[in-house]
Amino acid sequence: MSPSPHTPGLPLYERQSAASAHARFGDRLRHWRRLRGLSQAELGRRLGYHDSHISRVETTRRWPPAGMAERTDQVLETGGELSVLWPAVEHERRAQRRRRSTDRVPPQPLEQLLDAARLAGWSPLGVNEAAHGQVIGTVMELLGDGARRGPAVG
């Protein structure tokens, strides 16, 4: 039986590895780097990246760029392990971007807000109290609609 992502006693990056291809890639990158006795700075120099970039890829705070898997496989002599993981990592990254783009609120609420502001007499040259109240009311309605659809991710 394999350990769960929340198994006590394992380092966080190893516990997360069961959760995503991204985390598995970072775990295996760290494994091979350490096995070869290289610091993040030394591996970064050999690959053309800053050590902070290597650190962020290992800890899933940054997606590995295209080509990194192949170059790292060569430098660390991994037998192609990272290249084998790469398609799943790229698939996961693209899926996350698609989710983020579909979570955004469509532009219609902004257009409705601007229309309400114009109808209420709003002008970039000045705002009267009634117009201000009407615009705020419309914003609150739109935010209420957005909350029912789910949070916008920006």
DSSP H helices in the chain: 12-16, 21-35, 40-47, 51-58, 68-76, 81-103, 108-119, 129-149
Sole residue written with tokens 């610091």: 39
- Bridge partners, 126 (sequence order): 123
Give me the domain span that covers residue 123.
108-149
Query: What pLDDT score was predicted for residue 117?
Result: 72
Same domain, 24 and 68: yes
Note whether 49 and 124 are same-domain residues. Answer: no
Tell whether 76 and 54 lie within a shared domain: yes
Residues 36 and 83 in one domain: yes
- pLDDT tens column, 26-44: 999 999 999 999 999 999 9
Write out the chain's pLDDT in tens, 154 residues: 344 444 444 454 444 445 799 999 999 999 999 999 999 999 999 999 999 999 999 999 999 998 999 999 999 999 999 999 999 999 999 988 877 765 555 667 767 777 777 777 766 556 566 666 677 777 767 666 544 444 444 4
Q: Which two tokens stand for residue 49?
A: 């990246």
31 and 85: one domain? Answer: yes
Distance in angstroms (rounded) separating the CA atoms of residues 128 and 108? 25
On whether the CB atoms of residues 89 and 25 are closer than 8 A, the answer is yes
Residues 112, 80 share a domain: no
CATH number for the domain including 57?
Answer: 1.10.260.40
How many domains does the structure of the chain reveal?
A: 2
pLDDT of residue 138: 72
Amino acid at 91: H
Same domain assignment for residues 17 and 91: yes
pLDDT value of position 23: 93
Question: Quick one: 66 exposed, middle or buried, by C-beta within 10 A (0-12, 13-18, 19+)?
Answer: exposed
Same domain, 114 and 97: no
pLDDT digits (tens, 9 = 90+) for 94-109: 988 877 765 555 667 7
* Residue 82: per-residue pLDDT: 96
Q: Is residue 154 domain-resident?
A: no
0.75 cut: is pTM over it?
A: no
